[in-house]
Amino acid sequence: MAKASDLNVRLGLIFDEKALGQAERSLRRAGDRLTKVGNEMMTGLTLPIGLFGASAIKAAGDLESLTLALQSQTGSAAKASEASIS
């Protein structure tokens, strides 16, 4: 029965542990860089978009609140709008 080392030599699959270690380190570094890019994208792009959305929702709520307050004072939004124009 052939040994694993004989089989590697016959098939040309000689693995150099040093080369494999270098490849592993290189892949780890690439993975670390991709993780860093992902984190930077999250804080630089996704977070501001989320904050903008939250402020837009708050502004819409504030506008709705003001509209309801005007309606309660004047009886309707149309009357409130006419009163603010004149």
- pLDDT of 6: 56
Q: What is the pLDDT of residues 10-30, one digit of tens each?
A: 555 556 778 888 889 999 999
CA–CA distance, 46 with 38 (Å, rounded to integer): 10
**Other Cβ atoms closer than 10 A to 67:** 13
Q: Where are the domains of the chain?
A: 4-85
- pLDDT of 15: 63
What DSSP string runs through 52-71? HHHHHHHHHHHHHHHHHHHH
Total-model pTM: 0.48
- pLDDT of 68: 86
